[in-house]
Amino acid sequence: MHRNPVSIIIGAILLAVFLVLLFVFQVRTSEVAIVTTFGKPTRTVGAGPHFRWPWPIQKVYKFDQRIQSFEDKLTEDLTADSNTLLTQIYVGWRITDPQAFFPKFGGDSTAEAEKKVLEGMIRSAKNGVIGKHPLGDFVSASGGQKFEAIEREILTALQQQLKANSYGIEVTFLGIKKLGLPEAVTQSVFDRMKREREVLSSSYESEGAAEAAKIRSKADSDAAKTLANAEREARSIRAQGEAYAAQVLPTFQQSPELANFLLKLDALELSLKERSTLIFDASTPPFDLFRAGSTNLLKK
């Protein structure tokens, strides 16, 4: 009986595919794989196709090496000044050493690592660091919060715990997600914040009053200097005028009418220095020069 060549070719292809699936496995670029032989880890492989013996001889466990996010529960922690604080932490972590990670957590690794290790270690590190800081480092009206420094402290403590226990895990970042106060202590915190604001307000008022006093003192000093200079200038001008008057006085004493006439001419010249229209009383000096009888002095 002759077999159909097409059937033979299809059968061969299917057999080849089955053998490939049985003996070859593929690892993605974002993954790393552990190959176990009779249940014991024997090698770690990266991205690409790899050979394996079929089960039950060998089995492949794949782990995602991308950063995983995890949040702990909102818990109550005691600050250094014995105040209760509600905190919740979030972290980003990833697997760095599959050979150390696999024996401790097995195939369902991500959930087990978060439940058995990260949650407890985060709580321990968080309690230890928060217990070193007063409530004012977290909640303060004066803007003295130290969130970044506290987050770095918690991250350092957590990384040290993971390194000491060789879990094959690395925490890449950490932050405070939620921060709150129990209802029992909220009012006392608000009262303290109010007192801090009052202290700040008093400090600003004192600084403002001191600055105003400096400005006022400088203004008084400048005014006194200006007045002193003006008085000195006035005395100088007065002295010059008196000296000039003393020089011309003998001449004026010899001819008082001429002196009076010259003074009126000077005053009239000053009043007519700018182009202007004057409305005046002819009986008022120096405009009385415009009267007819006033020209007799010139004739003399």
The pLDDT assigned to 262 comes to: 67
Domain boundary among 181, 214, 231: 181
Which two structure tokens, joined as six digits, stand for 120? Answer: 């407890």
Instruction: Look at residue 249 and tell me if it is in a domain.
Output: no
- Give the relative orientation of helices 119-130 and 147-165 as an angle to the nearest 10 degrees: 130
State phi, psi for 91 to the nearest 5 degrees: -135, 160
Domain boundary among 129, 148, 181: 181
Report pLDDT digits (tens) over 55-79: 888 888 888 888 989 998 888 888 8
End-to-end CA distance of the chain: 170
Domain boundary among 64, 89, 107: 64
Pairing of strands 31-37, 58-64: antiparallel
The pLDDT assigned to 185 comes to: 62
Same-domain check for residues 55 and 92: no
> Where do runs of H (alpha helix) occur along the chain?
5-23, 98-105, 109-113, 119-130, 147-165, 183-254, 256-271, 296-299
The pLDDT assigned to 216 comes to: 87
Q: How much helix, strand and coil, in percent to the nearest 5, is found in the chain?
A: 55, 20, 25
State phi, psi for 75 to the nearest 5 degrees: -125, 160
Report pLDDT digits (tens) over 207-244: 888 888 888 888 888 888 888 888 888 888 877 776 77
Same-domain check for residues 48 and 76: no
Same-domain check for residues 106 and 40: no
Count of beta carbons in the 10 Å neighbourhood of residue 162: 19
Instruction: Look at residue 43 and tell me if it is in a domain.
Output: yes
pLDDT at 190 over 50: yes
State phi, psi for 107 to the nearest 5 degrees: -70, -45
User: What pTM, to 2 d.p., does this model score?
Assistant: 0.54
Of 41, 28, 38, 172, nearest in space to 105 by CA: 41
CA atoms within 13 A on the CB side of 72: 25
Q: By percentage, how much of the chain surpasses pLDDT 90? A: 13
Instruction: Look at residue 224 and tell me if it is in a domain.
Output: no
Q: Among all chains, which residue has been given the structure tokens 């001191």?
A: 210
C-alpha 105, offset from chain centre: 42
Same-domain check for residues 126 and 175: yes
C-alpha 271, offset from chain centre: 68
Report pLDDT digits (tens) over 94-145: 988 888 888 888 766 788 888 888 899 999 999 999 999 888 788 765 555 6
Q: Which residues contact 107 (CB under 8 A, 6 or more apart)?
A: 61
Instruction: Look at residue 123 and tell me if it is in a domain.
Output: yes
Q: What one-letter code names the amino acid at 68?
A: Q
Instruction: Look at residue 40 and tell me if it is in a domain.
Output: yes
Same-domain check for residues 116 and 73: yes
**For the CA atoms of the chain, what is the radius of gyration?**
50
Q: What residues make up the domain containing 35? A: 5-64
CATH code for position 169 = 3.30.479.30
Instruction: Look at residue 90 and tell me if it is in a domain.
Output: yes
Number of domains in the chain: 3
The pLDDT assigned to 259 comes to: 65
| Strand (E) or helix (H) holding 8 | helix 5-23
3-class secondary-structure state, position 105 = helix
Q: What one-letter code names the amino acid at 122?
A: I
Handedness of CA 99, 101, 103, 108 (dihedral sign): negative
Instruction: Look at residue 46 and tell me if it is in a domain.
Output: yes
Same-domain check for residues 43 and 76: no
Instruction: Look at residue 119 and tell me if it is in a domain.
Output: yes
Same-domain check for residues 58 and 85: no
The conformation of residue 237, written as its DSSP 8-state character, comes to H
Structural contact between residues 114 and 90, judged by C-beta atoms closer than 8 angstroms: no
C-alpha span between 122 and 80 (Å, rounded): 19
Same-domain check for residues 21 and 111: no
Same-domain check for residues 122 and 21: no
